[in-house]
Structure 1
Amino acid sequence: MPKNFFNSARISDEHLAIALAQVKLGFWEFNLETKLIECTDQNRINFHLSPNELITEQTIINAILPEDRWRREEGVRLAMNPETPTYDFEVRVRHHDNKIHWLQVRGTVIFKQSKPVRIIGTTIDISNKKGMEILRDELLNITTHEIKSPLSVVKGYLQLLHKFIAKTGDSKHQLISERAITASGKVERLMEDMTNERLHYQSEMILKKEKINLEELTLEVIANANLINEDFEVTLSINTENLSVTADRYRIAQVLTNLVNNAIKYSPGESKVEIEISGENRNIKVSVVDNGIGIAEEEHTKVFEKFYRVENTSKIASGSGIGLFLCSEIIAHHGGEIKIVANPKGKGTVAQFSLPL
């Protein structure tokens, strides 16, 4: 190899293009006056945009999954201050193969006479990095969280058994059942502690899809919820004839269980949670309605962020802040959407997700 091979004059545009493609690094510039964005081919690939497509700010917003758009909005808003002109956030986009890709987006606002005129920045596909996090902690992280739901069911049955034994007056077996309930509570606490400190969730989720009846699955979740929470009544209403979807049964049950548990947990003093299944264009929509403490509108999208917790919830119930993040990941990988809206009755929250028919 020639001694001067690495001289800057010998590093061609072709070398640079190959290097950028290998690390999936894209460059872009946003003109704040024209609202148009110029970028490299790799940046188009990162956002799954066609080669000749005219790119505007709205084009980029539309490419980002709905539940991640607030990160961009907040980052740009804070960067419009000359004292803090940079931002750095991670968002998800969906590519043509229906796979979710994670992007790290960095930008710097350029000011002219204290007025922001353009933003220049980079995007990089970090999906492989997210995958490596899971390879490292997959057994501990995923199993820890997913074991909590069946553990709650086991604890519910133990409590029923304890009540039955108590009526018989058998003090010996009553003590055994009490210790079993206490032990299950310790396992729950251990799971919670491990989840809080160590959970990282995979960027690609393996789904085992099959034809499932959403009504039957929802009734199973309701039965478990009513068993564990005797003071609550969870009901189901159906406003569509088509209840069959192709989905991962276990994962959708996970979402339903999490939403119902949240509705119960954050509804102190209430006794009813409603689940509604309805048709919406080519989708089927599931809504979990409660009359609890509610969530402020500005936090409706933030709750899907990993480890994010609404400020007024910690005094009511403990939590790790990963439940809704997992729900968001599951629904996104099914090609659906999930969101939080205010209860139209004026109190409480409606958690909704949709699945394509």
Structure 2
Amino acid sequence: MILIVDDRPENLISLQKVLQAHNFEVDTASSGEEALKKVLKNNYVLIILDVQMPDMDGFEVAEAISGFSKAKDTAIIFLSAVNTELKFITKGYLSGGLDYITKPVDINVLLLKIKTFYRIYEQNRKLNEVQEKLLEEIEFRKQAEHKKDEFISIASHELKTPLTSVKGYIQLLQRSLKRDDKAVAQNHLEKASIQLEKLNELIVDLLDISKIESGKMKFNMKPFCADNMVNNAIEMLQQSNPDFKISKLGQTDEMIFGDEMRLEQVVINFITNAIKYAPGTDQVNVTVNIKDEKLYVAVKDFGIGISKEQQQKIFDKFYRVEENSNRFNGLGIGLYICSEIINRHGGTIGVNSVPDEGSEFYFIIPTTEEEILKNQI
């Protein structure tokens, strides 16, 4: 848009009509003060500014505009019928003008200049867009590299912890066997088995994320009973966590289409996290139902909860809540893997949570092959 600034109405009207006839969007101001107010509120590609105005002349207006950050790319053309001497033209350029035209104005020349300024403005705008995109890409790649390095460091630590524990328990087991102390040996063996299971879970997660990255994560899609899948996950985790009461709310006998093993993996991850991030509690609720040909599964705990800001990132790859990273082990990829599994089923995954009151993780997926294919991301 072009702003014409002139204290004489006849000049404003005539120039406005000419520019509008050439398809330029035009705004007007009849004083320097009005022009400054409009520049603060609107964006202009070009300002055509009369020099000789009462109260505030064109030079003063231009100097004031040059101090506005939002108008730094706005071109200014001075028009003057009186101040045509070289010193005034020089002053115009020093005041921030890109051109100085003396009256009477050759309208064809003015139009050519305006079109040139528009073309330069458009080129600069595109260059700025490209520059911003490049900077965003660089920032994204720096952050990605940082996350990758951080993940490698975390993964090394997380894998080393259970491995070191297993070595320690094996040494204790060997000593117990030498003393023929079978009860103590059995205890050490059970603890070593627990650590090996943790190590196995970490390795499975690492393999899964590698398959996701390479596009080689396989899915065995076929009909199965959703209720049985949820029951299996609950039963397995109830046995390994006898102090927790894992309650199932709702049920369904319907068959759905999907990868039973992968979906069970999601439910297990939800329940495992519900137990892990709810120290001092002993209740987890698992809800399952089918409505409008969609399976809904949710796992609710009564633990530490997640803030609104963190809820937006919780399914991102390698994301770990900073204040919890030292209290709870993990690679920060479990929920990312879950989200990829649900995406492959054409569904949605999410969380509802209130800090210090608990979290409810859920997924919703179509139950038929046709709907899954239609909704796949």
Structure with more relative contact order (C-alpha pairs < 8 Å, separation 6 or more): 1
Higher strand fraction: Structure 1 or Structure 2? 1
Q: Which has the higher helix share?
A: 2
TM-score (norm 1): 0.49
Give the structure-2-normalised TM-score: 0.47
